[in-house]
Chain A
């Protein structure tokens, strides 16, 4: 399984999404997960495609093409740049 976390305001858009999804070789990068979400959740996918969205895997910030393994926790973090 992969455990998905949509942090902060992304959580508002991801309320109807299954947060535990079966691990599959076709969903083995954060980018692949984002592309998969695009089919049913265009609004969330639009937010995930904003510049400066961060992805973390098992509490480590990674790139979108980072390889995923069964059991990974994948967190998506919306951009925060104000002050």
Chain B
């Protein structure tokens, strides 16, 4: 779908860039992404991807806005309390950019959602903004099987983590290689230990950047894990290793 006059104005700051340009903007326009979790990470991710003109954005979250969310979940307003997050988010995103499609999926993520919108091919990218390891493992498994790029982030307290996998091009090394498939939830989570809003903004912005690079075709950090400590302003970048016994990408794949 070629860009129209309004698109040329709206996306002019992308079009000025040699490594995005008209061809890159069209890739973003044609992309279909799924954001799982519309909390502290999902809010900035959804805002940036909608603003960037990612053409089809599905939002998956069963939760309703709670007053305790407002300290960090920047899509929502005080009067949204009690409303479905995905419904509020969809309204805000369409107000920001009516030229894109946004769908609200108000339920827990499952394999059916992860398979992609009905009657189309699978997602161009899935963005894991969930708050628990069980969902992260489910998402990783589906993305690996469908060869869908996965951009996964997490945060708690002052700390954030991001790791992404380009399963289109790499068939070894996945989330389950790093976090054991059978591992249980740690004691500390956002609900019982708190989290700093801007740390989620940092990690969500990094996720959005990684998504854009995936969609534009120059992502080269498969399985690289980055940690941010907002309390000390420190970063750590590490490479993950293939687990030869990984139940997802290990034994059956060559």
Give the distance to chain B from A75, nearest Cβ to Cβ, in Å. Answer: 7
- The answer, yes or no, to whether B65 is at the interface (CB within 8 Å) is no
Report Cα–Cα, A44/B225, bound state, in Å.
23
Contact A8/B39 with A52-B183, A80-B160 known, Cβ cut-off 8 Å = no
CB pair A83–B190 under 8 Å, yes or no, is yes
CB pair B236–A81 under 8 Å, yes or no, is no
Give the distance to chain A from B247, nearest Cβ to Cβ, in Å. Answer: 16
CB pair A79–B186 under 8 Å, yes or no, is yes
Residues of A contacting B159 with CB < 8 Å? 8-9, 78, 80
Query: How many residues from B make CB contacts under 8 Å with A?
Result: 47
Closest to A58 in B: B238
Query: How many residues from A make CB contacts under 8 Å with B?
Result: 23
The contact of A8 among B153, B157, B189, B237, by CB within 8 Å, is B157
Closest to B243 in A: A63
Residues of A contacting B41 with CB < 8 Å? 83
CB pair A81–B239 under 8 Å, yes or no, is no
Closest to A55 in B: B238
Interface centre among A7, A9, A52, A83 (most CB of B within 10 A): A83
CB pair B237–A59 under 8 Å, yes or no, is yes
Give the distance to chain A from B85, nearest Cβ to Cβ, in Å. Answer: 13
Report Cα–Cα, A66/B184, bound state, in Å.
22
Residues 3-53 (chain A) with a chain B CB within 8 angstroms: 5, 7-9, 11, 50-53
The 3 closest A-B pairs by CB, nearest first: A82-B190, A79-B186, A82-B156
